[in-house]
């Protein structure tokens, strides 16, 4: 066995949490809160000679959330396991054995001893070691009222997969789906009113000029000019490269769209400069038009 294994093995049988008395004796008000919270109407718990629900055993001796943590074997074991990479924990089993009912007036104590530490095992969560402890609950005279076998898995969190951030999804609906479908085919289309022939973008159900709901599309040439732009530095989204050039491009057809610029830096942007579309296949579900400076004007 390795030195590390020896050190771990030395924990078996060791007291993890020293004998700790409950802050309060078993009492009716705490029983009342518990059964009300659980919706448990068993008359044994609040009758003339009340009995604490067995499921409250741990609650009597539990440390308050804000109570000071005293360093002890428990912290040592956690640190030792973390040293070897077992930094994550999940509770797997809690096996109680009840010796007798506890009743108001019982003043309980608990102590916790390491019962076993398993060899390294492969689990669905990652490789880890099962740590089983035995908690013993006693009354004021030292008689055992219950035991609890408590098993946790201390495991190495799997290395995070490299994050491939997806671009935020556009909100696609019945009125604009045609535009994104055309984009997936690398076609830049503009919606046209069938009644008055006005072009419009972004897509919408109704012509803002004549209120007609009848429409078709025309294919844009993909050329346009820089109408306006901003350079975004923050906040940063992992799917984008920064500084991010966000532009309003006026198409030859006359409509404008908001898009990103590529193949150019912020310093070289000039309002009115000619641009042409380039297709960005961002991921299998999303293709978007972006624009770059027009290389040659001989189109």
Q: Which residues bind Zn ion (CB under 5 A)?
A: 193, 195-196, 198, 207, 209-210, 212
Residue with Cβ nearer Zn ion (177 or 196):
196
**Hunting for tokens 């004998």 — which residue is that?**
19
Q: How far is the CB of 195 from Zn ion (least distance, A)?
A: 5
How many residues would you count in the chain?
A: 299
213 phi/psi in degrees, rounded to 5: -95, 0
Residue with Cβ nearer Zn ion (198 or 217):
198
Q: Enter the DSSP assignment of 284.
A: T
Residue with Cβ nearer Zn ion (75 or 216):
216
Residue with Cβ nearer Zn ion (4 or 213):
213
Q: Which helix (H) or strand (E) holds 228?
A: strand 223-232
Q: How far is the CB of 217 from Zn ion (least distance, A)?
A: 14
Residue with Cβ nearer Zn ion (255 or 287):
255
Q: How far is the CB of 276 from Zn ion (least distance, A)?
A: 28
Residue with Cβ nearer Zn ion (210 or 271):
210
Residue with Cβ nearer Zn ion (132 or 198):
198
Q: How far is the CB of 190 from Zn ion (least distance, A)?
A: 13
Q: What SS3 class is residue 258?
A: strand
Residues 6+ apart with CB under 8 A from 108: 21, 22, 25, 26, 60, 61, 102, 137, 138, 139, 145
Q: How far is the CB of 215 from Zn ion (least distance, A)?
A: 8
Burial of 215 (0-12, 13-18, 19+ CB in 10 A): buried
Q: How far is the CB of 181 from Zn ion (least distance, A)?
A: 23
CB 219 within 8 A of CB 189: yes
Q: What SS3 class is residue 199?
A: strand
53 phi/psi in degrees, rounded to 5: -55, 140
* CA atoms of 272 and 258, how far apart (whole Å): 15
Q: How far is the CB of 178 from Zn ion (least distance, A)?
A: 17
């Amino acid at each position: 066995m390795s030195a590390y294994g020896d050190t771990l093995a030395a924990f078996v049988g060791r007291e993890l949490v020293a004998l700790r008395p409950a802050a309060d004796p078993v009492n009716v008000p705490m029983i009342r809160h518990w059964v009300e919270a659980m919706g448990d109407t068993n008359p044994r718990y609040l009758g003339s000679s009340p009995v604490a629900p067995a499921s409250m055993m741990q609650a009597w001796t539990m440390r308050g959330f804000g109570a000071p943590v005293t360093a002890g074997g428990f912290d040592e074991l956690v640190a030792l396991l973390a040293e070897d990479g077992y930094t994550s924990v999940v509770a797997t089993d809690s096996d109680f054995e009840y010796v007798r009912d506890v009743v108001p007036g019982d003043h309980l104590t608990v102590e916790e001893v390491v019962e076993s530490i398993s060899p390294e095992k492969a689990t669905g969560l990652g490789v880890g070691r099962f740590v089983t402890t035995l908690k013993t609950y006693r009354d004021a005279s030292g008689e055992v009222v219950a035991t609890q076998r408590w098993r946790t898995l201390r495991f190495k969190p799997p290395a995070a997969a490299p994050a491939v951030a997806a671009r935020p999804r556009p909100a696609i609906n019945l009125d604009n789906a045609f535009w994104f479908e055309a984009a997936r085919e690398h076609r830049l289309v503009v919606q046209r009113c069938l009644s008055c022939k006005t072009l419009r973008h972004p897509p919408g159900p109704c012509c803002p000029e004549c209120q007609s709901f009848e429409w078709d599309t025309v294919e844009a040439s993909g050329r346009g000019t820089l109408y306006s732009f901003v350079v975004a530095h923050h906040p940063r989204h992992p799917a984008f490269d920064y500084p991010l050039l966000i532009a309003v491009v006026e198409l030859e057809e006359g409509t404008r769209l908001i898009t990103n610029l590529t193949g150019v830096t912020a310093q070289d942007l000039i309002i009115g400069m000619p641009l042409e579309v380039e297709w960005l296949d961002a991921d299998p579900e999303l293709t978007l038009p972006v624009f770059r400076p027009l290389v040659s004007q001989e189109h």
